Structure 1
């Protein structure tokens, strides 16, 4: 019985560790996405006054393709 109990405990520990790892990875991915969006927004705000609307539209079309 003791061995069985130990094995169950170890399994729960590894499962919680795995879950924590997944959470950490997910939060890192979300953080990266937020950083990318913020970078694009800042760049757009900085670049916006230097270009006309037509040039910006052409630039967006180039990025999308």
Structure 2
């Protein structure tokens, strides 16, 4: 699936007056592609890449990297 290019070439924000407005992030005419990703079936995921390293795509693998968050 490909989503609208405008989603990556523009951003909405709030001005000092509280009003919301849109700002263009890229030069006029810049090409952009915005691919959306489908959900990958779990049987195809064997590992996870995290800010703490790589682990098996299992609860045990995650607990090994994040023991401080394990409940």
Is TM (by shorter chain) over 0.5?
A: no
Determine which structure has more spread, i.e. the larger CA radius of gyration. Answer: 1
TM-score, structure 1 as length reference: 0.17
TM-score, structure 2 as length reference: 0.16
Q: Which has the higher contact order (CA 8 A, sep 6+)?
A: 2
